[in-house]
């Protein structure tokens, strides 16, 4: 970390645990829990997914502390172009989900969902293209395929004029193999690395091995704005700032990161606030005509109370904060 850790007792005293209901299932989640931290510079979010251990989740805590205790960088832009996100819904439900977004110009479509097949992916993408013929489309498999599945699937999906495909298979070497096979087949579809960046001890290996054409970077999993700006500086790849299914507090930090990048060639994945039925503030971070404002978020204290889960979950998050804090203190 590039700053001194505040006392643990101070973090615990100014933390609030919330549970946000979602409109549709996303990554298997129908309720999203987060621990929010109030600090001298504003609010930060710690919302590592529950299956992550302390060593991995500690980077998420570092990002939350940074947001609460450090000023955001000077912005180079006041609004951020963002994509709509379409979960792995049936083709008949595509229109209803995307209607919640205000004039999307870019749409990220989830594919390779467990229990579904390529026919369902093709139908979902085809329906999206039919409804939004001028939109930039991208697909995200979240490592759902192996190499033998990914290559033919991406060839078939490429017929719908995709901007890029995000993390079709696990790992860095897997991405490199998929990308090479597509190129050998004359397919120019760009490959984006997500999990291969945020789950790897060396995020820059993606660039060194030529495994991807661009990197998807997320503020919380990579340890905060300062850490991500350093990665982006040395990556020598275009980057896309994306959400880790954050509340509006986390989305504000991610938008601040995107605002500070020297170049922003792709729409960012920061319009996921639309997936929540409730959020922590009166004016959530929602896009207008496909653009998200760059601003700090002030949670509504009545919402913090109404969205507070049962005490067992509050206690679990506070214990998790303590264990992740111990990891950071050892660094």
233 an active-site residue?
Answer: no
Q: Spot the catalytic one: 25, 108, 199, 218.
A: 218
Q: Which two tokens stand for residue 241?
A: 């700032």
Tokens of 305: 């109370």
* Binding annotation: 140, 166, 194
Choosing from 25, 92, 108, 110, the catalytic residue is 110
Is 110 designated active site?
A: yes
User: Can you say whether the dihedral through the CA atoms of 96, 97, 102, 103 is positive or negative?
Assistant: negative
Angle at 11 between CA 7 and CA 13, to 5 degrees: 115
How many angstroms separate the CA atoms of 197 and 207, rounded? 10
SS (H, E, C) the chain: CCCCCCCHHHHHHCEEEEEEEEEEEECCEEEEEEEEEEECCEEEEECCCCCCCHHHHHHHHHHHHHHHHCCCCCCCCCEEEECEEECCCCHHHHHHHHCCCCCCCEEEEECCCCCCCHHHHHHHHHHHHHHCCCCEEEEECCCCCCHHHHHHHHHHHHHHCEEEEECCCCCHHHHHHHHHHHHHCCCCCCEEECHHHHCCCCCCHHHHCCCCCEEEEECCCCCCHHHHHHHHHHHCCEEEEECCCCCHHHHHHHHHHHHHCCCCCCCEECCHHHHECCCCCCCCCCCECCEEECCCCCCCHHHHHHCCCCHHHHHHHHHHHHHHHHHHHHC
**Of the candidates 263, 258, 265, 306, the residue with the CA atom closest to the CA atom of residue 282:** 306
Query: Based on C-alpha coordinates, what's the Rg of the chain?
Result: 19
Which residues contribute to the annotated binding site for Mg(2+)? 140, 166, 194
Residues annotated as catalytic (active site), given as ranges: 110, 218
């Amino acid at each position: 970390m590039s700053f001194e850790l505040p006392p643990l007792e101070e973090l615990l005293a100014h933390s609030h645990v919330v549970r946000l209901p979602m409109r549709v299932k996303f990554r298997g989640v129908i309720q999203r829990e987060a621990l929010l931290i109030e600090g001298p510079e504003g609010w930060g979010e710690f919302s590592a997914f529950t299956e992550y251990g302390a060593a991995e989740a500690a980077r998420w805590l570092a990002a939350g502390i940074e947001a609460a205790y450090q000023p955001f960088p000077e912005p180079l832009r006041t609004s951020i172009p963002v994509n709509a996100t379409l979960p792995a819904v049936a083709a008949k439900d595509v229109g209803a989900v995307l209607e919640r977004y205000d004039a999307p110009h870019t749409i990220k479509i989830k594919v390779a969902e467990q229990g579904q097949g390529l026919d369902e992916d093709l139908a979902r993408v085809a329906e999206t293209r039919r409804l939004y013929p001028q939109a930039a489309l991208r697909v995200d498999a979240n490592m759902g395929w192996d190499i033998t599945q990914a290559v033919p699937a991406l060839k078939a999906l490429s017929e719908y004029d995709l901007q890029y495909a995000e993390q079709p298979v696990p790992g860095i070497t897997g991405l490199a193999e998929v990308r090479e096979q597509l190129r050998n087949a004359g397919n120019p579809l760009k490959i984006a690395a997500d999990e291969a960046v945020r789950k790897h001890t060396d995020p820059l290996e993606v660039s060194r091995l030529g495994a991807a054409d661009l990197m998807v970077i997320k503020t919380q999993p990579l340890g905060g704005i300062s850490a991500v700006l350093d990665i982006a500086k040395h990556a020598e790849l275009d980057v896309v700032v994306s959400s880790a299914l954050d509340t509006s507090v986390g989305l504000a930090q991610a938008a601040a990161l995107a605002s500070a990048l020297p170049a922003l060639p792709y729409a960012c994945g920061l319009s996921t606030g639309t997936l929540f039925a409730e959020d922590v503030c009166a004016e959530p971070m929602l896009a207008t005509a496909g653009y998200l404002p760059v601003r700090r978020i002030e949670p509504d204290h009545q919402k913090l109370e109404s969205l507070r889960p049962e005490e067992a979950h509050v206690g679990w998050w506070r214990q998790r904060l303590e264990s992740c804090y111990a990891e950071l203190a050892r660094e």
